[in-house]
Structure 1
Amino acid sequence: MSMWFSKSQEEALKELEVNPAIGLTSEEAQERLEKYGENKLKEKPKKSIIALFFAQLNNMLIYVLLGAAAITMAIGEYVDSVIILLVVILNAVIGVFQEYKAEKAIEALQKLTTPRSLVRRDGDIKEIDSTEIVPGDIVIIDAGRYIPADLRLIESVNLQIEESALTGESVPSDKNARDIHEDPKTPIGDKSNMAFMSTLATYGRGEGLVVGTAMETEIGKIAKILDEDHEEMTPLQRRLDELGKILGFLAIGVCALIFVIALFQDREIFDMFLIAISLAVAAIPEGLAAIVAIVLALGVTRMSKINAIVKKLPAVETLGSVNIICSDKTGTLTQNKMTVVKQYTLNHAQEIPPGETSLQGTQDEQELIKSFVLCSDATYENGEGTGDPTEVALIVLGDKFQMAKKALNDKYHRVGEKPFDSDRKLMSTLNQEGKGYRVHTKGALDNILKISTHALVDGGIVPLTEEMKKTYLNVAEEMSNDALRVLGAAFKDTNSVIPPEEMEENLVLIGFVGMIDPPRLEVKDSIHQAKLAGITSVMITGDHKNTAVAIAKELGIAESIDQSITGTEIDQLSDEEFSHRIKDIRVFARVSPEHKVKIVKAFKSHGNIVSMTGDGVNDAPSLKYADIGVAMGITGTDVSKGASDMILTDDNFSTIVNAIEEGRNIYNNIKKSVVFLLSCNLGEVIAIVASILFGWPVPLLATQILWINLITDSLPAIALGVDPGDKDVMKQKPRNPKESFFAHGAGFRAVLGGTLIGILTLTAFYFGLAEHGYSLGSRDIPEDILTYARTMAFVVLAGSQLFYSLSMRNEIKSIFQVGLFSNKYLVGAIIVGFILQLGVISVPFLAEAFKVQNLSPLDWGIVIGFSLIPLTANEIIKIFMRTGAKN
């Protein structure tokens, strides 16, 4: 690797054959992309399908089944061993399909969350995926962006970069593009003319030439350290995993018990061994974690289609519990299309008509607009703006008064600046003006008044009196009451270049503008919907109290100004006082990002589950501290996206509400699948254990249990996992995160459903024997009659589980209220289940293999009738629950 830090900017640009004013052309960039490859660190090799398949077999139960298959083969029961092996293979294939699908969904999401970078190509500034960056690209750096590759800086203004990822130093390093380091052993932390991949720009701005990408970067050298497994189980998966283990131990205990009882009852040892193993497989819902993973992954993919990218799977569970949404105003609750509608210089107010492009201003107004345009970093050309919407609005204002940004920049060259920061709420630039220099400052009016000593009035500079300050503030307050955002401008002339710390003192106030960012049309409905769902919406903004409350009233967030508080007022309260007051506050105005952590803490102290939005570097702590940190996809910095659990690709408040609805439905779907699986497994256990305890013939053979497990467990459970959302889910209160999985009668329904399925299976078995003159206690029942009775039990066990899945779709609504055919996957799973069941009974070689036979039409009627009972019972219980809920 060349020692770029020891070369001048010109040498580096020459070596990589690029003109910094134009950047690479699209063709050159494409050629270099093919030559150097994508700018991303090497990942672990993906598991092949075969590796995934064998991973499915790495399971204690599967070993037991394979052992059983080997024993059956050894004693000549080839059909049984083939069926066991087929079940094992089918189980593994379904597992592979689930894992593959989940992996693909997560991969697609990772693509969506790739950081983006600003580069200069073909003479224009473009935003591209960081993976598309190539050596020779000119990268634009601003505060809050990650550095996408190793760069030789070619321009830097007060640039500071936090390099702890590489150096361990938490204090940001000052950068200077003009530095050259001759010593080849210069440590990374001292390479002040370089910026490295994965570090973070925290202050100032700059431009850099890409000199290393992907594995050729400094971070690439230590990429192996970063290449760790980050597959965390979600709290829900962990809970279910524990549940699976408990059930596993119970099942093994039950199997041992069966085996011991069978020995005393003098039953066929080998048959009992197979049944004990099958029962273990039936009782342990080994598909739980896989089904949860696939439902979460599919749900997350569905969310990405509604503009919510969930980065961490546990967030899906937490979303269902959110009861406070703290949202930034600008861009999230509003359209982020700032427009200047009024401007004011002392004793002279002017309305700015929309669309007008050739306005004339007084001398003071011209100075006001000039300062605003020169003190902005945004661009606006051919109707398209880039950068901060507030600044774009100021540049559009300049265009209306024939003061185009490009022309002003060329005439008054910028030689220094003090970037905006949320504590000062100011930004200043130093521009050349004739033989001298002029500081232009823009920002919050009250902060500008604090640092101004004079004012510009009718072309002359006069001392700023208290009377004048009052006049300015009164007019600004009137604008705020009309929901306008007020931004002031000031200047001062100097004879020489002054450092940033001297810029913002003894200024001359020129005036201010009022701009509006209209509320998003759809947000009002979303706030109402959230209210019905027991969710409180709260507005957080840096704007004035009056402006914020005016918009909050319009949106239905607040009713009066008493429900608002400012950052200054928060600072005067102790944590206890603030925590006590927060219950009544709906609007937080004039707050800095540092206040956001305090707001989250205060809400959480009351046991609330809080979602917080943010887009800036200093929003990261509050995003991390909130239960759900939500970053903005459009205006958000890479840091805020990195700290968040969810990213809104459209920066829209309504998307948060939609995501909460989706999160609630996903959780409910997982719950349906799990409760359904446990009911089915319990039914199988009850049927077998009861028959053994009472010394009856066993109603099901090992191969039959395995077959039913495969059909009824996998297909309907996955179909329930992708159930269409309940339209009324947002009419319920948020779920308590500590709530058990079996709350609201889910546990009772699982036990009841399982018990019914078990009893009906035994009843069908009894009917099959009784028709031929035998009872459950009879000895020496002929084999063909046992086969007939077992076929009836076999059909009832499978059929009752398949029908029962319909009833699991909603805890309270009937299957007709939900819509009998609204989940096409479930209807398909039930039809496929019955076709397979019918096939096993009707196709001679399958019937022989599974030891079943065809039933008479009357008995088909009986088994179908029995199969419908658990579904009917659950629907009757729901009628009582609905009646109880109304009372």
Structure 2
Amino acid sequence: MDAPAQSEQLDRIDPLDLDPSLADATEIARRLEADAHLGLTAAEAARRLAAEGPNELRAVRPVPVWRRILAQFNDPLIYLLLVATAVSLGAWLIEGSQGLPVDALVIAAIVVLNAVLGLVQEARADNAVAALSTMTAASSTVMRDGLLTTLPSTQLVRGDLLVLGEGDSVGADARLTEANSLRIAEASLTGESSAVTKHPRTLPAPAALGDRLNMVFKGTAVSQGVGRGIVTGTGMNTEVGAIASMLERTETHPTPLQVEIGHIGKLLSVVVIVIAIVVMLTIVLVQGVSTPADFVTVFLLGVSLAVAAVPEGLPAILSVILSIGVQRMARQNAVVKNLKSVETLGSASVICCDKTGTLTRNEMTIQQLLTASGRVDVTGVGYRPEGDVRQGDAPLTDLCLRYEAQLVLGAGSLAGNAQLTEKNGEWEIQGDPTEAAFLVAAAKLEGTTGHMARFDRLDEMPFTSERKMMSTLHQETSDGSLRIFSKGAPDILLERCTFLQVGESVVPLTDERRQRMLADIQALSAQAFRTLGVAYSRADENTAPLDEADEQGLIYAGVVGIIDPPRTEVTPAIKEAHRAGVRVVMITGDHPTTAARIASDLGIVEPGAPALAGADLDLLDEPGLREAVRGTSVFARVSPHHKLRIVDALQANGDIVAMTGDGVNDAPALKSADIGVAMGVTGTEVTKEAAKIILVDDNFATIVAAVRGGRVILDNIKKFLRYLLSSNMGEVLTVFLGVLLAGVLGLAGASSETVVLPLLVTQILWINLITDSGPALAMGVDPEIDDVMARPPRPINERMIDLRMWMGIMSTGLVMAVVTLATIDLFLPGGLLPVLDPGSDDLTVARTAGFTTLVFAQLFNTLNSRSELTTAFHRLFVNRWLWGALLLGVLLQVAVVELPFLQAAFGTASMDTVHWAVCVGMASIVLWAEELRKWILRARTRS
């Protein structure tokens, strides 16, 4: 297309819809009515700022306090408890409003306590997230009225002339007009670990975000060089803003725990109504009701049993247990923003993670060095100059190889602009990470840094994308001689070399030697190393200033292999995740070869496993993508929408997905995942906002530890559900069977009342008070009993209370009812069992014994409920809170039986030693019966 035609086409395009990378910078300036040399005037910038708004992302509206409070009550179990409160209050009014409506007040207090716990935890998480946020606002340098001006980045407008220098944060999207050795770190946006070299030339065709080399983007950073550009997008009209918009449109899903508790709440609602109706009808049909007082008694019993069937402590206990689990995770550097999110990690079947900064250190490191005399390995990772330079497994003793290694590392360090400094014991870099890698490696080889100190820099030819190399001119302080040091793409550098360094000698670079050097370069590239060659030459006094003619006839010194190394703690963490049946998937913007190498080193995939690139994903429809993600664990060169598609495809396959990340490009996928995990140190604010969990230490191993913690919490939730429901079932079956079999048990003949009950209403409420709270709460903080990482994740369609658990709940409840009624029968004449002490006991004593047996049976049931298969005697004494709750329960029961004022309130009578021994012995049958059931289940599991 010729220039007039192109200009005519641009005139028909609104600047906001124009891809600036495809248009000439001069044309972009014209369309934005900007000056590419002097910038905007202050008045025009102020006008645009008022019209377009500040350069910031649209803030998430804070949730009003009243909505946060109401959200705590948005739970089916809470609805059920509120109904139970209303029914209990109605029964109290019907009974004559005598005393306080204790039951209604207790349930209401539990509902309020649950809401308070939820609000407190959310506030704690908000404070922790705020503490992780940076407290300083970013600033930018622009030309205003022809003068350099530094201002807050929020005041940038379209048309501003942005001036960039090394170390600056890019404040807005801009089309470059000038670039001198400009390299931009775009990992937070694209996931690419290496800095990208920029230039101002117009691109010939549309390109992916990471390949728009004439553009700079908001949220990235200048690692080297200088440049200028015209701001083309601010706020939500930047690439970061586009991701933020995608984030707003991304739906969040309820956690598996929320789904399961909702299911349990609905199920219990039906069960409660059925229990109340069946029991009341049974009493009416079996015993008959003739007076209004009898109707009130039957109604109160129905209500009491309905309340007994509902584990009213469940929401509060659930919140307390999750809160304790969250506090434990916070001590392990994981901040949980929502209580119910912690359990989701325990159910996760896939952990999707970014490579750069999550699995790797985001610290470029030289690991290998190849010269004419052989290979050298550099130990140690990151920017801390700890490690050494070795020849294989042995110290570097070959003098020729040592000299060559010193030359490569020293020359590579001098031909750069990075700085390595120590501050408070921490090592930091300024400048390009690749150049810093030379400084770190040079510090590991004794004597190299001292040789570098002998040279003073005189001139520099910066790196350009055309030349793919840079050179510096130095003078040796001892004799005044001049040296040119060069580094760059090894194949390009070799073309400019005519000599080769061999030990301390310089020999001609023959074709055979050149081919051998090229083979070395290819060998490093095949191992996913980023390669940089190093060369040098002697110069004369007329060399300065440097030009390209001086970069000929160089002496080739060698090539280094650079990689962003994996974190040392990641490999064992991945191994532990695999042991737990959790698949780890790497999703990165890096090159497929590099991604596959890192994934193989970490144990994510077997060596040789391929990576699927973003371009391949674009060719797949949704069914094809769902099939692809089943067998692929490495995805490379992906964009934000690819990450989102991968997460959605995994979820469509039935996986519970945890997604980790630190860059803006990770945020939409983090929000869509079942559990989003953001990095607290390197993570952007957009990412932290989207995530449900934030890792303070950016440590992947913390995620796996959180998976273990989540599974322990899930186990503990199942423990107290098993305990509460089986104990409550014991109460319901005791009353139901006691009424149904009143004549057989001797209850009917022991009283003149029309309605004879095995337990009084007040006794049922007492049982709920002392057995449904303390022991259940203590079980919620139980340590790990079974090896939770030795089993696969819980399938997404598996009920927390499955058929086997329901069978256990029913069988335990039935045993409780049988031993309770049998105890009553032992102390009443006319029943099935022979009376232990004829003539000495009445209905009050027998009922007290049954009441006590049921309480003790539920206390024994706490030991049963700690595991579905493991014996109760395994790690019996590890939970001191549980034993404290059991002791308290025993003391309270003794008090309610033996203290006169409590006897009057709860209809009990004192018992002698025989009675107490019978109660304990009968109650223990629950423990032995459950041990037998577990033994049978273990035998079936083994077979």
On whether the aligned pair clears a TM of 0.5, the verdict is yes
Q: Given the alignment, which residue of 381, 384, 396 partners 2:426?
A: 384
Q: Which residue of 2 aligns with 1:192?
A: none
Shift of 1:804: 0.5
Partners of 2:109 and 2:306 lie apart in 1 by 20
CA contact (8 A) 2:368 2:376 kept: yes
CA contact (8 A) 1:489 1:511 kept: yes
Q: Which residue of 1 aligns with 2:794?
A: 735
Shift of 1:788: 1.4
Shift of 1:730: 0.9
Q: Which residue of 1 aligns with 2:261?
A: 240
Q: Given the alignment, which residue of 880, 885, 908 partners 1:852?
A: 908
Q: Given the alignment, which residue of 847, 867, 880 partners 1:810?
A: 867
Shift of 1:809: 0.6
Partners of 2:338 and 2:471 lie apart in 1 by 44
Q: Given the alignment, which residue of 751, 757, 760 partners 2:810?
A: 751
Q: Which residue of 1 aligns with 2:187?
A: none
Partners of 2:82 and 2:495 lie apart in 1 by 80
CA contact (8 A) 2:612 2:636 kept: yes
Secondary structure (helix, strand or coil) at the match of 1:304 reads helix
1:331-730 equivalences under 5 Å are: 331-334=357-360, 338-342=364-368, 368-369=412-413, 373-374=416-417, 384-386=426-428, 392-394=436-438, 396=440, 474-480=519-525, 484-486=529-531, 513-515=560-562, 519-539=566-586, 555-559=602-606, 561-565=607-611, 567=613, 570=616, 574=620, 585=632, 587=634, 596-597=643-644, 600=647, 606-694=653-741, 696=748, 697-730=756-789
Q: Percent identical across equivalent pairs?
A: 35
Partners of 1:617 and 1:60 lie apart in 2 by 46
Residues 453/722 of structure 1: CA separation in 2 closer, same or farther (3 Å cut): same
CA contact (8 A) 2:660 2:678 kept: yes
Q: Which residue of 1 aligns with 2:272?
A: 251
CA contact (8 A) 1:333 1:520 kept: yes
Partners of 2:560 and 2:641 lie apart in 1 by 27
Partners of 1:615 and 1:588 lie apart in 2 by 17
Q: Deviations over 1:791-835 (max 9, x none)?
A: 112112211112111111111100112x11112222222111111
Secondary structure (helix, strand or coil) at the match of 1:831 reads helix
CA contact (8 A) 2:734 2:820 kept: yes
- After TM superposition, the structure 1 stretch with the greater mean CA deviation from structure 2, 235-244 or 709-718, is 235-244
CA contact (8 A) 1:567 1:592 kept: no
Partners of 2:557 and 2:378 lie apart in 1 by 17
Shift of 1:478: 2.7
1:295-306 equivalences under 5 Å are: 295-306=321-332
Partners of 1:457 and 1:588 lie apart in 2 by 41
CA contact (8 A) 2:86 2:104 kept: no
- Structure 1 counterpart of 2:87, which letter? V
Secondary structure (helix, strand or coil) at the match of 1:114 reads helix
Q: Given the alignment, which residue of 113, 121, 143 partners 1:105?
A: 121
Shift of 1:482: 6.4
Secondary structure (helix, strand or coil) at the match of 1:853 reads coil
Q: Which residue of 1 aligns with 2:89?
A: 66
Partners of 2:641 and 2:289 lie apart in 1 by 75
**2:847 aligned with 1:790:** yes
Q: Which residue of 2 aligns with 1:219?
A: none
Residues 673/370 of structure 1: CA separation in 2 closer, same or farther (3 Å cut): same
CA contact (8 A) 1:359 1:401 kept: no
Partners of 1:723 and 1:574 lie apart in 2 by 47
Partners of 1:9 and 1:431 lie apart in 2 by 43
Shift of 1:578: 6.9
CA contact (8 A) 1:252 1:280 kept: yes
CA contact (8 A) 1:234 1:313 kept: no
Shift of 1:629: 3.5
Q: Deviations over 1:37-87 (max 9, x none)?
A: xx99988569999x999x99982222332333344455xxx5xx34x42x4
Shift of 1:417: 11
- Structure 1 counterpart of 2:719, which letter? K
Residues 581/280 of structure 1: CA separation in 2 closer, same or farther (3 Å cut): closer
Residues 335/751 of structure 1: CA separation in 2 closer, same or farther (3 Å cut): same
- Structure 1 counterpart of 2:902, which letter? L
1:21-100 equivalences under 5 Å are: 44=64, 59-74=82-97, 78=98, 81-82=99-100, 84-85=101-102, 87-100=103-116
Q: Which runs of 5+ in 1 are unaligned?
A: 12-38, 117-128, 142-147, 164-171, 177-199, 208-229, 419-423, 434-439, 460-464, 496-508
- After TM superposition, the structure 1 stretch with the greater mean CA deviation from structure 2, 607-616 or 512-521, is 512-521
CA contact (8 A) 1:307 1:648 kept: yes
CA contact (8 A) 1:343 1:514 kept: yes
Q: Deviations over 1:834-873 (max 9, x none)?
A: 1111111111101111110111211211111221122221
- After TM superposition, the structure 1 stretch with the greater mean CA deviation from structure 2, 646-655 or 65-74, is 65-74
Shift of 1:323: 3.0
- Structure 1 counterpart of 2:798, which letter? E
RMSD of aligned alpha carbons: 5.7
Secondary structure (helix, strand or coil) at the match of 1:639 reads helix
Q: Which residue of 1 aligns with 2:20?
A: none
CA contact (8 A) 1:485 1:544 kept: no
- Structure 2 counterpart of 1:820, which letter? L
Partners of 2:932 and 2:351 lie apart in 1 by 38
Q: Deviations over 1:279-325 (max 9, x none)?
A: 12112233333333332232222222222333344543432333333
CA contact (8 A) 1:321 1:609 kept: yes
Partners of 1:534 and 1:714 lie apart in 2 by 34
CA contact (8 A) 1:716 1:829 kept: yes
Higher Cα radius of gyration: 2
CA contact (8 A) 2:524 2:561 kept: yes
Partners of 2:689 and 2:464 lie apart in 1 by 28
Partners of 1:789 and 1:574 lie apart in 2 by 74
CA contact (8 A) 1:597 1:622 kept: yes
Q: Give the TM-score normalised by structure 2.
A: 0.64
- Structure 2 counterpart of 1:830, which letter? L
Q: Deviations over 1:488-545 (max 9, x none)?
A: 799xxxx9xxxxxxxxxxxxx9996423555544444333332322233445566667
CA contact (8 A) 1:329 1:540 kept: yes
CA contact (8 A) 2:252 2:671 kept: no
Residues 432/670 of structure 1: CA separation in 2 closer, same or farther (3 Å cut): farther
CA contact (8 A) 1:319 1:659 kept: yes
Partners of 2:926 and 2:865 lie apart in 1 by 11
Secondary structure (helix, strand or coil) at the match of 1:113 reads helix
CA contact (8 A) 2:313 2:773 kept: yes
The count of residues paired between Structure 1 and Structure 2 equals 732
Q: Which residue of 2 aligns with 1:293?
A: 319
Secondary structure (helix, strand or coil) at the match of 1:769 reads coil
Secondary structure (helix, strand or coil) at the match of 1:64 reads helix
**2:306 aligned with 1:280:** yes
